[in-house]
Every structure is written in C-alpha cells, then in structure tokens.
Homo-oligomer: A and B are copies of this chain.
Amino acid sequence: MAPAAPAHRQLSLTAFLMRHGHHVAAWRHPDTDLASPPFEVYRNVVQSAERACLDAVFLADSMALTGAPSLEPVTLLSALAAVTSRIGLIATATTTYNEPYTVARQFASLDSISNGRAGWNLVTSDNAAEAANFGRERHVDHTTRYARAREFHAVVDGLWQGFEKGAFVDDKAGGQLLDPSKVHRLDHRGEHFSVAGPLNVPPSPQGKPVLVQAGSSETGRALAAATADVVFTAQATLADAQAFYRDMKGRIAGHGRAPDSLRVMPGIFAVVGESAGQAQDKFAQLQGLIEPKAGLALLGRMIGNFDLSGYPLDGPLPELPVTQDGQRSRQQLLTALAQGENLSIRQLYERIAGGRGHFTVIGTAKQVADQMQAWFEEGAADGFNLMPPTLPGGLDDVLRLVVPELQRRGLFRTRYEGTTLRSHLGLR
C-alpha cells in the first residue's frame, strides 16, 4: 500500500530546461555537450530529474531563431514521455500563431501518451521576429493578443471536455464504440475562432492537461487567475515575490477558487557549490565566458528589441523610447535597475546573463535551501521553477545537493505518490 500523502505542505519543483542552460554563455562551458544529438542530452537530463522526483520539466518556446536552435517542445516532450514514467511534461504553445483545435489535439495526445503527465504553458507572442515567420509585419498588439488568448483557452478547454464520462462504451458484441449522447460538439462561434468539435483525440487521463501561465501584466494576471493551475513568475526579491503571491491568491479568491488551486512558482537561478567559495567560482567562470556580442544581444532583446551595438560597453545605457515590441515591463525594470545602481551597459548585461531578472542564489546547498524555505514559508512561493545555469551539470548540482537537503527538511517528496502531473502538484 502506498503511504499516505504528507499532512504538511510541500514544495513543487519543476526544471526549466534550455538547450544548453540558462546562462547566456552556458554553451561555452566545458560542461555542456554540443556533440551529442539534442534528444540524447534531454533524455539524460529528464531521467535525472525523474530520479529526483521533480514534479515536471518545463520547456519554453519561441517561433523564431533566438540563440541556439533547439527542438519543438511538444515533439520533444512526446519523445521524452516514452522514456519516462512519472515526471510531468510541460510545454509552451502560443495562442497567437496557433489554432485551438491543433493545440487541443497536441496536448490531449501528449497527455494520453504520457498517461496523464502533460501540461500546457499558454503564452501570447510579442515580438517582431516571430510575427515575421507568420505573415505579419508587426507583432499583434497586447489587447488583441490577450482577447485571442482568452477565447483560445475557452475553445481548447471546451474541446477537452467533449467526451463525457462513459462516452467510450467499447461494446464489441453490441457494435457500439462510442455513446453518441455522451460525445459533445462544441459549436463555438466567437470573435477570433469558430470551432465545431468534437476533438478527435481520446480524453485526457488526468481530466485535462495542467494549465500553466506566466504573464505578469494586469491582463495576464487576470487570465491566469481565471484559468491557470500554475503560474510561473520572475521575482527578484522576497518582498516582490510576496506581493505577487498575495495578488494572485487574492485574485483567485475573487473567482471563488481555493488558495491551493493555483501554484505560484517563481523561477530560481541557483549556482550551487560544495562550499560558498566554489559556488562563487562557478558563477565567475560563467560570467567570464560572456562574449560582449552575446551579452548585448540578450540585453537588446530583453529591453524591447533595441540594437545596442553602437554604444560604448562601459558607458551608460542610452535613453530608449518606450518599446512597442512587447517586453515593456522588462524594459522598465532594467532601465530602473541601470539608473538606480548607475550600471554600465556591460554591468547591466552581466547582471542578467544568468537569471534574467529571476531570483538568484549563489551558494551551498544549505544556503540555497534556506532561501527556498524562507520564500516558501513566508508567503512568496508554492514551489520553484529551477533554472539551471548549464545542462546537465547545473541541474545535476541542484538535484544532487539541494533536493536531498529539502527532502531532509521534509519540504520535498522522496517518492512519487501519484502518477499524474495534476496529482504531483496537489491539484484536484
């Protein structure tokens, strides 16, 4: 008999995987493997994460080439589903350049293939490079994007619910496969989509795939409060994270939702060493590998797609017009940071080269676990989205050093209790 779930609250942990790791110079680190096929690297990483009992792995996405080429997330997670058995699999898919019937099919299929481990990170696309791959001169404006996203979600959610319990009769002798009275058309007609349904993929083993969101704007938060199971967020300080956490829990209460029906999970960029000094050395090694060109490109992207290559590296950030190309809140944050601490362009890109504005901790397993525990116990987080500096080494450090420390403190599971992602996350 499986032991009962622990009576006390535990952390959720997901691993946010980027091709070579999150640090902008990760690919140059001796640890990263450029020679093996990408799938082999991911397979080893995800199997390690599963051995550590993580809730899920998570893949971001972009519909344009920014950085190293990688694999399309749903395709990749589906392959990973076949070589794992318990860990959740969360992929990003945009509502701006996809069709809801297609996305509903993909995630229902991933959920079926993985026996209930799929999650969908619903995003909108906000940059010109993606727009240019989908026949648009400019990215779609914020309001239209979110209106489309909201309707997109309603359609996908409706399609996922098209098969009532008992719809599959499977009566060979009687000649009835489906009970048509339990299979429902959607017949959605809205401003952005008309979708008849029903879906042509079997229903999700976990009821429906877990819904993740990460929008931080007012509109993004409102949509997440209405619909999401998990919110990923970038918060640099405990106070900011607490404010965000309070805000989101308040918003869901407004929708009549229980506090634990939404998991708030800030990203954490942790560089872990056997000693504090070793951790600092690891971080310094990565910082030393930043090519000015790569640093400038990252900063330019995060500040609203501006070309900074004409400005002196050791001079101040120039006055920039308010970006029309997404990333407005990130632009404000970084401009304020540069002005407040009087940072040069180089110092600013060095500051974001790892955690990109996320919670950053450099230290021993105990130091990292202390910080995580503080955020968890002081109303700032239900768990963390781990952002390993390099792959596989940067993740291995966390799994090998920090996770056991959290387990010793009773803050994280030592074995999976359930089989679905929804169950790992403690969601109904």
Contacts and interface: CB of A to CB of B under 8 A. Distances in A.
A115 B74 CA distance: 17
A101 B63 contact: yes
Given A98-B102, A193-B135, A28 B72 contact: no
A79 interface: yes
A85 to B, nearest CB: 12
Interface string A279-305: 000000000010101100000000000
A172 interface: yes
Contacts of A172: 27-30, 34
A384 B289 CA distance: 55
Given A82-B82, A135-B193, A109 B199 contact: no
Contact of A132 (B99, B102, B196): B196
A37 interface: yes
Contacts of A201: 69-72
12 contacts: A38-B112, A64-B200, A65-B200, A68-B177, A75-B105, A78-B78, A79-B113, A97-B99, A129-B196, A133-B197, A175-B289, A175-B293
Nearest to A34: B170
A179 to B, nearest CB: 13
A62 interface: yes
Interface of A is mostly: loop
Nearest to A136: B194
A78 B136 CA distance: 30
Cβ-closest 5 pairs across A and B: A132-B196, A82-B82, A65-B200, A75-B109, A72-B109
A200 B101 CA distance: 24
Interface residues of A, number: 71
A79 to B, nearest CB: 4
A80 interface: yes
Interface in A131-154: 132-136
Interface string A171-193: 01001011000010000000001
Given A75-B78, A78-B76, A134-B99, A70 B115 contact: no
A106 interface: yes
A166 interface: no
Contact of A106 (B37, B72, B108, B129): B72
Contacts of A82: 39, 43, 79-80, 82-83
A76 B68 CA distance: 26
A110 interface: yes
B113 A69 contact: no
A289 B135 CA distance: 50
Contacts of A66: 200
